[in-house]
Amino acid sequence: MSELLSEAAFEAHAQELFAAVSALVEQGRAVASVHANAALTMTHWQVGRIVGEDILDRERAPYGKRIVATLSRQLVGRYGRGFDEKTLRRMVQFFHEFPQERIVATLSRQLTWSHIVEILPVKDAEARAFYVQQSALHNLGVRDLRGIVARKAFERREIADAQVVDGSAVPLDAFRDPFLLDFLGLKGSYQERDLESAIIREMEAFLLEAGRGWAFVDRQKRISVDTEDYYLDLLFFSRPLRRLVAVELKIGKFKAVYEGQMKLYLKWLDRYERQEGEETPIGLILCTEASREQIELLEMHKDGIVVAEYWTELPPKRELEERIQIILRDAKERLARRELAAVPDGERGASNSSETDESDA
């Protein structure tokens, strides 16, 4: 009996020791990871400073392009793809946007280089500072950061603050937290963004259901061109077509600029995402307005290809148009109910009566 007790005691002690050592190892790894990320971020900033100052000293644009391309080839040859030309240009941009080393040293302990890459395309300095602060304060992952940047959380906060009247009991910065902004019924262009997001979510589910052999690839796919970032609404892969299908939703009627934007996306996907054995990507632009829907189908090379033949493997155009109309109507109703819920009780009766008048009309 005593042997059993001593064996049990031994096992318990071994488990306690294992737990204690494991905690130390995990803590050490976490500290090492923080230091490694900080070192990487600072190294990238210092590289950006050296290259940026070298280009500035010579004040010749052609020289700048050549030296960055040459340096990139040399660095990739020695250190790998982490120093490709696009990344090298981001390092230079990092130095230009955050020129003070003291600030960068603090920043490097809070955010990873991947966070920096998401923040750099933001042009407004105050907005960049806001996203840095939110990332550090809420310990945001890269995907969460990308989400609040795409939702324009900074701009929405500005609009929300503007709705607080003088003398209000609501503090001016009551809406600083971007996660709270998702619950606001904001009007104007940002309501349109909310509407677009609601339609995209439902359209994604419909396309997966109606598109035979379709697989979901990504939502808000980042397309990086030089130092500019764009975000493609939806990306699928069609097994029957053996190609990527890019989908963009636009509120309102079709504009020529949408075609140029989609063609840019398709060229990027063809160069960086297309795999061996796949055909060139095609793009769907879904446009909608109050009285009509329009669908444009684009592909990289039209020579010898009849666009209509794709509809045999895509959801039928008429079905897409009808579905957009239903999704648009339902999304508008949900947003209207959300705004109505935010109206004070004393004003709700007037809102309800006006809605009744409109429906009767």
| DSSP category for residue 295 | E
Q: Using CA atoms, how far apart are residues 155 and 122, in angstroms rounded to an integer?
A: 11
Per-10-residue mean pLDDT, the chain, length 361: 64 79 76 75 89 73 77 86 87 90 86 89 86 86 84 67 53 48 43 72 83 87 84 90 88 81 90 91 78 62 53 77 80 68 50 39 32
pLDDT of residue 193: 65
CATH number of the 193-329 domain: 3.40.1350.10
Residue environment code for 319-342, b if the CB has 16+ CB neighbours within 10 A, otherwise e: ebeebbeebbeebeeebeeeeeee
**Residue keyed to tokens 């969460």:** 144
Domain regions of the chain by residue span: 20-110, 112-184, 193-329
pLDDT of residue 235: 93
pLDDT of residue 244: 92
Q: Using CA atoms, how far apart are residues 219 and 204, in angstroms rounded to an integer?
A: 9
Q: Which helix (H) or strand (E) holds 243?
A: strand 243-251
332, 333, 335, 347, 355 from 352: Cα distances, Å: 16, 13, 15, 9, 5
pLDDT of residue 126: 86
The two structure tokens encoding residue 322? 């009808």
Cβ neighbours of 290 (radius 10 Å): 7
pLDDT of residue 358: 38
Residue 167: helix, strand or coil by DSSP? coil
Q: What is the pTM of this model?
A: 0.46
Q: Using CA atoms, how far apart are residues 312 and 34, in angstroms rounded to an integer?
A: 52
| Contact in structure between 268 and 223 (CB atoms under 8 Å) | yes
CA nearest neighbour of 84 among 33, 44, 56? 44
| DSSP category for residue 120 | T
Q: Using CA atoms, how far apart are residues 91 and 69, in angstroms rounded to an integer?
A: 13
Q: Using CA atoms, how far apart are residues 76 and 62, in angstroms rounded to an integer?
A: 21
Backbone angle region of 167, left / alpha / beta, with phi > 0 → left and psi within -120 to 50 → alpha: left
7, 154, 170, 187, 318 from 344: Cα distances, Å: 69, 26, 15, 16, 42
pLDDT of residue 188: 42
pLDDT of residue 269: 93
